[in-house]
Amino acid sequence: MTDLQSKDYRISPWTAEFQDPAVEREYCRTVERDNARFLRVALFIWAALLLAFAPLDWFTLGDSEAFYWVSAARFVNAIAMIWLAGMLLRRPHWVSWGWPVTIAAILGYLLFFAYIRLIPDSGPLGLAVLMLLLFSLYVFIPNRVPLNNIIAGTGILGVLLTSISAGLDLLSLIYLAVLLVWPAGVGYFTALRIGIGNRRAYLLLLKSQRTNKELEQEIRRRQQLEKELKWQAQTDPLTGLFNRRQYELLFNQEMASARRNKTPLTLGLIDLDHFKAINDRYGHDLGDHVLCQVADILQQPLRESDILGRFGGEEFIIILPRTGVDQARVVAERMRIALSETIISHQGQTLVVSATFALAELAPEDKDINSVIRRADEALYEGKGSGRNCVVCVRAA
């Protein structure tokens, strides 16, 4: 949680909001769509209740001016609720802003003020409803606590002023104020508890997301490390070609496949001509550069299924699955010509290299790679003796 604390995720005990405005905005963006959906439902229920109780006004007031004033207040309130619910579909950020629902709620007090003025006998019922609304305001309306305080304060002050204008005595006024402040206070502290709890849950969510992200990064790092270790275990560190352990493993797999499917398999040895002279004359840095360049050139004519490895020193090995020795000769000739036609440059030095190729086809008596290499090595010796820069083939008996 150290990084979370460094961003000042402290929560105000009086507003149930993060003290850092940027953090509070981020939290509001996280929950605003859910809050907007909940608020739309609350607004529609509010509007429906306002309209549902209109017939009771008729029974109480009859066809009078007071009835029309109360009905107008109900209608204006209901229209405001429905309009706000519709706007929240397009502007869900209004629920985080808070002022639209605050204004709509304050507008709703017009109805209660009208009841107090126009229906004096409705005092106890109106008071009970208002006490319930003051509590519900904090618990069921997703709005900022400070703005809910403004709504509650406006309602309490409006009722008290209306009662004063109606001639309520001081003692009754104090009694009324206590009755109104009590549900507002309970609602306020309930809203604080809910708001602080929600934000603490948000902090736990951030912590879990951070932990998950760190775990994912660690998993990716380990996977990359395993991939690199596997690659290092399979390849020659200089050229990046398969090392002996890996190309022998792949040969055994291809040999089993060739015998199972009765397809040819050809192995080839490639030895760079006069490579020792290159090292002696130009140094091992250039020699290493030549080996890397040769490795790139040898890979170009190969298929994805073909295998190229470093046999050791200046020697390379190729394994060509489903390829007879005549087809392998064509591939080897391409390699040989490509090598002899490529000018290799390094630190101002240029040279052309050649190589001798020896190809041996898998024979029925071959038990492992060593017997095939032995025949290819004999052919390679023959090619060296006949002038180098050539391709020599050994067919299966």
Q: Are 39 and 25 in contact (CB under 8 A)?
A: no
d(CA 291, CA 296): 9
Q: What is the pLDDT of residue 64?
A: 83
Q: Are 84 and 43 in contact (CB under 8 A)?
A: yes
Residues 350-371 have a mean pLDDT of 93
Domains of the chain in start order, with CATH, are 2-212 (no CATH), 244-394 (3.30.70.270)
The per-residue pLDDT of the chain, averaged, comes to 89
Residues 122-151 have a mean pLDDT of 83
Tell me what percent of the residues of the chain surpass a pLDDT of 90. 61
State pTM to two decimals.
Answer: 0.61
Q: What is the pLDDT of residue 2?
A: 42
**Closest by Cα among 179, 192, 70 to 131:** 179
pLDDT in tens, 3-21: 555 567 899 999 999 999 9
Three-class DSSP category at 386: coil
**Closest by Cα among 27, 15, 21, 20 to 145:** 15
Instruction: Indicate the burial class of 261 (C-beta count within 10 angstroms; 0-12, 13-18, 19 or more).
Output: exposed
Cβ atoms within 10 A of the Cβ of 235, count? 17
Output phi, psi for 89, to 5 deg.
-65, -40
Whether the per-residue pLDDT at 150 is higher than 60: the answer is yes
Q: What is the pLDDT of residue 390?
A: 95
pLDDT in tens, 52-104: 888 887 887 788 887 888 888 888 888 988 999 999 999 999 999 999 989 88
The length of the chain is: 397
d(CA 136, CA 49): 14
Residues 258-283 have a mean pLDDT of 93
Token code pair at residue 370? 């060593």
By annotation, the residues acting in catalysis are 314
Whether the per-residue pLDDT at 212 is higher than 70: the answer is yes
The H or E element spanning position 321 is: strand 315-321
The H or E element spanning position 104 is: helix 99-118
Specify which of 121-130, 154-163, 239-248 reaches the highest per-range mean pLDDT: 239-248
Cβ atoms within 10 A of the Cβ of 53, count? 13
50 vs 13, more confident? 13
Cα 109 to its chain centre, rounded Å, is 46
For the residues of 278-290, what is the DSSP string, one character each? HHHHH-HHHHHHH
Q: At what angle do helices 170-234 and 244-261 cross, to 10 degrees?
A: 80
Cα four-point dihedral sign 84, 88, 90, 93: positive
